[in-house]
Structure 1
Amino acid sequence: MVVLDPNDPRLQDPALDENNGVTSQLSRWITDLQLKDIPTDVLERAKHLILDGIVCGLVGARVPWSEECVTSVLDFEPPGYCTVIGYEKSLGPLAAAVLNGAFIQATELDDYHSGAPLHSAAVVLPALFAAAQVIANPTVPTKDGRKVVSGLDFLLATVVGLETGPRAGLGCGGTDLLKRGWHSGPVFGCPASAAASSKLLGLSADDVESAIGVACTQAGGLMAAQYEGMIKRVQHAFAARNGLFGALLCRNGYVGIKKVFERRYGGFLSMFSQGNGQTPQYDSRRVVEELGSTWQMMNIRIKLYACVGGCHGQIEALAKLQELHPDRFAPENLSRIAKIQVYLSGAIYAHDGWAPEERPMTETGAQMNAAYIGAVQLVDRQVLLAQFAVSTLNRDEVWDLVYKTTCYHDTHFDKPHHVCGARVVVDFDDGFQVEELVNMPKGYDPPITDEEIRMKYRRLAASAIDQDRMEKIEKLVVGLENLADVSELLELLPAPTKRVLG
């Protein structure tokens, strides 16, 4: 690593200014934010992102890898007072945040940001659920004596978290971190959960800055987690825990890292942008750029497929080819496909364009692999949770197409908001070739509507919980700003859910 002399002209770039006050400006905004400062459409979107996150948690609580995680955690964690989604068990704040975050991210059905990749609900909601119950617990003293968290309190804190994560990511180079092998969401998610928790706990701006610093010094996450095992599902939950820990630690004056975004030596943006080859290496100004006027949370996308968001353009390109050429892509003719070429953005090619090393892959690996995802779209004409059940992972008709698929990087998709697009070229054994391009998958422009999010919620919730509970949760979340006590919502989450995947 090359360490620049403080007088090096490259450090005179305003993007690298160590004294621009970015972290303190963000912290003041977090503290001061009020309902009147947030446009109505942003508030509505936040409520629907909460709804989407909750249903992902309800479904994800009962997949096999989540159940394994619960069993292990309950072996060493003592009982507490914080809700665990889908289980009639309560744990301490940090342990509950880890499990709830793991559930929300468990099935790859949760949200993602298109410019600074992270799964925001898996980071923000678990921290807020636990923080709300810390406040409500009569044995835990709080500085201002609050014991009830209103729905409005919860909503404001959610907006803060949803807005902070992408901004930290954009300052660090957006998709670049993912391209270089970091799991970007657990990195960008640490300041997001710290910001949200701090807002709910009522921290001063100075303490918010400390909490963000404590969260950021814990940041990390290796994208090698995608190939096998189960830990990839938990890594966003680490960020939820880290930010919550920072807020709880600093709410009474404990001092964390200050100026963590703008510090050149050992700062968050400086260190996580090492080796990216960009000029400037990072830009701390992007953390607060148009803060309060341009809402980055509106670029959080809602998944319609149960796989990595970067392959959604590929799925839609293949679906279009199936629609345009029904005879060619009929089930009995799939064996006549000779070659499939998939062209992806740099970040998604690095993340998902790898050739499988073994057959079958794990559920995690399958949901992260472009060749496998494309093959199940061709065979099953859908990419939902059922396509990644253990019983489906070794089908000959799928693997025949996996082995015929090769992925490539196409710089066309490195353009803003094109990162999840794809171009697919399919050759048949008689020389016939078809091609389809999708620059931006469904939900980019225009985005998925709030009504469509509610439809997704109802469809998924019906597979996990009863009708009465499903309707109560939706009603409370959609009317969150009018809810006197968020405990009414949290009480609906721990009851057992149905197992949705064998």
Structure 2
Amino acid sequence: MAKHSSDEVFDETNNEDSGVTATLCNWIVGLEKKDIPDEVLERAKHLILDGIACGLVGSHVPWSEQAVDGILSYEPEGQCSLIGYEEKLGPLAAATLNGGFIQATELDDYHSVAPLHSASVVLGSLFAAAQVKNVKVRGFAFNGQSHEVLEPGRTVSGIDFLIAAIAGFETGPRSGMAIHGTDLLVRGWHSGVVFGCPAAAAASSKLLGLSAANTESAIGIACTQACGLMAAQFEGMVKRMQHGIAARNGLFGALLARNGYVGIKKVYERKYGGYLNMFSQGNTKTPRYDVREVVAGLGDVWHTSRIRFKLHACVGGCHGLVEAVESLQESYPQRFSGEAFSNIKSIKVGLSETIFHHDGWAPHERPLSNTGSQMCAAYISATQLVDSQVLIAQFADSQLNRDQVWELVNKTTCHHDAQFDKPNHQCGAHVVVEFDDGTTVEETVQMPKGFDPPITNEEIRGKYRKLAASVIDQERIEKIEKLVLGIDQLEDVSELLQVLAKPTKSAV
């Protein structure tokens, strides 16, 4: 597979005739196992394993169960399975729910430069795409009369599934980096949902065996549906579902394009109504977008290896904050014990511009919702102080109105600290705590754990086992891990999907 250099191919930043969308689609269609380094293949397996762990835990939290109840009330039975449920639904509904399950507890992966939760959009779409069978494909007889052909059921191999996942893992961050990644969060867009639509379309198109032209249509159909409002992080449940909606949108594009339905062409490079031009409206960058980023380093630079793994059950941008507070607790145990919290006068938190806008807001109600509490820097900091951990249990309904936590929340203010605006530092934090006796202590974390060096595959497996043990039995834990880590040898991926579809218990 030939590698592409954006500097060799494109001489203008945003040339409408650059062929960027077509170049990406040709690369997706031609991608083979031999083109992918072994370490990238292995990392992709662990991304899938981590996503499954999050989906198993997230499938039966209250907001996921409520979503399932709502969708089952109007959706007919289908052929696609759900993580943790015996019921089956049509592909679009299944993609929405499975993607939502993976994102349901804020424990899933994220890309730090072009923020999106890759497993939720990619696996959400692929689990459904792998089970789409007996599809009616429109064709034409020799006399010009249209007819429909019922395509027989098919078997999806594990290696095909893995390569399709990598196509999605690569497409999402590239789509985001072309419009300055984190800038969408500053302006109130839910960036991962915007970047997730073409990622899901790329993955689904690859798995369904679409041509380059049809893949371009699929991505165009996905991009015209792209949206996501970050106001979803405050009161409601829908923030959990939005990456699932992106998974649905990408799969929808691929299924339509599979039947020859023509989508937007040149969707990345079009200036009037194009994806990059429209979603960059209102930013202050120069240039506002750079279409070359979509294909920069294809076949050489692998974003699959740059996706981050979460160790705390909160928004990724606050992981540096959690670790700064944790460091202060370890350094000054007497000052940060429960009895001494009343002696804290103020807590000042410095965050990057992106994370300050996203998570530095002052709580406007008490208690916060489950979602809002995981997106509020002041609440996350207070939770770490009180519980010495930020895990799923900290955000259960019974924990959201504790006086001790709220006394610390009310002493906390956040501000923009420009030192964290550098690439890969945007999830860092500077914490200053002042006490009644005039003493001040502070801590800075430039990059949370797992940035440089990244979290190891062994640590990811440990996270999977810990999360899975809270909702399923040991035999099933071991079987899923064996199937995923050996997925490139798996003849039929439905074997994995069947194990995932068995009921699970609630983790909350």
Q: Give the TM-score, by structure 2 length.
A: 0.95
Name 2:213's counterpart in structure 1: 206
Residue pair 1:191, 1:243 contacting (<8 A) in 2 also: yes
Residue pair 1:210, 1:250 contacting (<8 A) in 2 also: yes
Which region of structure 1 is more displaced relative to structure 2, 245-254 or 22-31? 245-254
Q: Does 1:117 align with 2:94?
A: no
2:369 to 358, 362, 371: 362
Name 2:58's counterpart in structure 1: 60
SS at 1:90 equivalent: strand
2:445 to 434, 438, 455: 438
1:439 Cα deviation from its structure 2 partner: 0.5
Which one-letter code corresponds to 1:368 in the other structure? Answer: M
Residue pair 2:167, 2:206 contacting (<8 A) in 1 also: yes
Which one-letter code corresponds to 2:474 in the other structure? Answer: Q
Shift in alpha-carbon separation, 1:211–1:60, aligned structure 2, 3 A? same
Name 1:376's counterpart in structure 2: 383
SS at 1:425 equivalent: strand
Q: Deviations over 1:179-204 (max 9, x none)?
A: 10000011000000000000000000
Which region of structure 1 is more displaced relative to structure 2, 491-500 or 187-196? 491-500
1:13 Cα deviation from its structure 2 partner: 8.3
Name 1:390's counterpart in structure 2: 397
2:87 to 86, 89, 92: 89
Residue pair 2:280, 2:289 contacting (<8 A) in 1 also: yes
Which one-letter code corresponds to 2:507 in the other structure? Answer: V
Q: Does 1:247 align with 2:254?
A: yes
Name 1:216's counterpart in structure 2: 223
Task: Give distance in 2, aligned partners of 1:264 and 1:139.
Answer: 35
Name 2:145's counterpart in structure 1: none
1:278 Cα deviation from its structure 2 partner: 1.1
Residue pair 2:135, 2:150 contacting (<8 A) in 1 also: no
Name 1:453's counterpart in structure 2: 460
Q: Does 1:278 align with 2:276?
A: no
1:253 Cα deviation from its structure 2 partner: 1.8
Name 2:146's counterpart in structure 1: none
Q: Deviations over 1:323-371 (max 9, x none)?
A: 1111111111011110000000111000000000001001000000000
Name 1:6's counterpart in structure 2: none
Name 2:141's counterpart in structure 1: none
SS at 2:444 equivalent: strand
Which one-letter code corresponds to 1:472 in the other structure? Answer: K
Task: Give distance in 1, aligned partners of 2:410 and 2:153.
Answer: 59
SS at 1:70 equivalent: helix
1:14 to 12, 15, 19: 12
Q: Deviations over 1:308-335 (max 9, x none)?
A: 0000000000000111111111111011
Task: Give distance in 1, aligned partners of 2:371 and 2:84.
Answer: 21
Q: Deviations over 1:48-75 (max 9, x none)?
A: 0000001100100010000110110001
Q: Does 1:409 align with 2:416?
A: yes
Shift in alpha-carbon separation, 1:139–1:272, aligned structure 2, 3 A? closer
Q: Deviations over 1:52-99 (max 9, x none)?
A: 001100100010000110110001100001011111000000000011
Q: Give the TM-score, by structure 1 length.
A: 0.96
Residue pair 1:115, 1:299 contacting (<8 A) in 2 also: no
Task: Give distance in 2, aligned partners of 1:29 and 1:403.
Answer: 52
Q: Deviations over 1:251-308 (max 9, x none)?
A: 1321100000001110000000001011111000000001110111211100000000
Q: How many equivalent residue pairs?
A: 488
2:41 to 17, 30, 43: 43
Name 2:470's counterpart in structure 1: 463
Identify unmatched segments of 5+ residues in structure 2. 1-9, 138-148
Within 5 Å, give how 1:135-150 maps onto structure 2: 137-138=133-134, 147-150=154-157
Within 5 Å, give how 1:250-329 maps onto structure 2: 250-329=257-336
Name 1:164's counterpart in structure 2: 171
Which one-letter code corresponds to 1:107 in the other structure? Answer: T
1:472 to 448, 472, 479: 479
Which one-letter code corresponds to 1:71 in the other structure? Answer: D
Q: Does 1:28 align with 2:41?
A: no
Q: Does 1:335 align with 2:342?
A: yes
Q: Does 1:348 align with 2:355?
A: yes
1:195 to 202, 206, 213: 202
Q: Deviations over 1:120-162 (max 9, x none)?
A: 001000100111001xx34666898671100000000000000
4+ runs deviating over 4 angstroms: 138-146
Name 1:235's counterpart in structure 2: 242
Task: Give distance in 2, aligned partners of 1:101 and 1:296.
Answer: 20
Residue pair 1:13, 1:280 contacting (<8 A) in 2 also: no
Which one-letter code corresponds to 2:125 in the other structure? Answer: A
Residue pair 2:95, 2:247 contacting (<8 A) in 1 also: yes
Name 2:106's counterpart in structure 1: 108
Task: Give distance in 2, aligned partners of 1:214 and 1:83.
Answer: 24
SS at 1:168 equivalent: helix
SS at 1:133 equivalent: coil
Q: Deviations over 1:437-457 (max 9, x none)?
A: 100000100000001000000
Task: Give distance in 1, aligned partners of 2:259 and 2:69.
Answer: 34
Which one-letter code corresponds to 1:34 in the other structure? Answer: E
Task: Give distance in 2, aligned partners of 1:303 and 1:455.
Answer: 12
SS at 2:389 equivalent: coil
SS at 2:88 equivalent: strand
Identify unmatched segments of 5+ residues in structure 1. 1-11
Residue pair 2:134, 2:153 contacting (<8 A) in 1 also: no
Which one-letter code corresponds to 1:130 in the other structure? Answer: A
1:127 to 125, 128, 134: 125
Which one-letter code corresponds to 2:57 in the other structure? Answer: V
Name 2:233's counterpart in structure 1: 226
Task: Give distance in 1, aligned partners of 2:329 and 2:13.
Answer: 47
